[in-house]
Structure 1
């Protein structure tokens, strides 16, 4: 449904209408990462967004005291993330989530509010890196910028540096450097840089892949035309 930007939890048994479906109760912002947790226990169900309980969540089907979970679904043939529905008026059929999912975990017990808060704090902001050297739109000769042009062109060695690393306070374990999907070097200490000194010509893609202590990954690429 084009105008809905809420996060939903939906339980469906067979091809029936949902037996449980609630949403955040408000629209979430686009282009932002969220930590979304769902708990089900003897006393019912609830949800948490970024470590805080969704006390104003809205139920389209079911109620807060429903305690259905995966074991209660008779035919356990499908578990989907990012596929569900709101109600028959807004979405007669099921809808696909338009966004990204970084991590999914299913526990065999109901987590407490404190445990969910700790998980959110541990996950924090997503890992984000940026190659700051070489810069696109430069003509490099022996690793020095000579003038600005429309593309990145280099003659001789090229130093690649990841000058921006944001990991939400988590340690970055390593940054690996690739040329055309072939790993060439791994740096485990800042500043994260590597000099490509091999003689080559033509178009090549240099990729930097960072890994933080929580196992998150992010990458950035730069395309360079090598003269030699």
Structure 2
């Protein structure tokens, strides 16, 4: 009987050791999304609190800005709530990729885990540095990125945008135009009969396009802040003129497109 008891005890001991070892070597769950994002200094982004419908313009180089950029790179959504904004001055994230806060479980963030302590300010106020890693993780009190049930890991690169946007006219682009239709294209001057819509193709890979200003002979005619960037020239005009468009990005860099036209529009 004594031998049986010893054998059972040994078996239980080995079972316990095996369970502990499996728990120790069990790999942590793979992040739902992990990747690099580039944030631009001195730029902002806009979020809308789903509970109130209010919009907030926030710094792009915050922990929330990193999540916003990652959501676009990773093609997932997130929502913010401003229920306690007046009290604490911060928004809080209440869902990511469809995973909502429930009871004591919710979304938290940690910058440079485990080397730095858990932040105690709102993610929309935490200013990041180049090279930071932001973990957004789901769980209750005492959880961390290693023990969370869902994890998003964001590697942050912060840059200064000194590159102007690119801009070129897509209409007119040289040739003959009659009543806002291109009849034939050829390089150089554009000949225009009747009204015409001036169109510009504008891109900016870093901070984004803020606005495009359209000019005729250096006289400002239109400021367009949304794509497609265009202005309909429907004024009376005869003879040679210079059309010009200036594209600005979010940090003030700009670029110019300019073209000579001959127009008959009465």
| Higher helix content, 1 or 2 | 2
Same fold (TM over 0.5): no
TM-score normalised by the chain length of structure 2:
0.39
TM-score normalised by the chain length of structure 1:
0.45
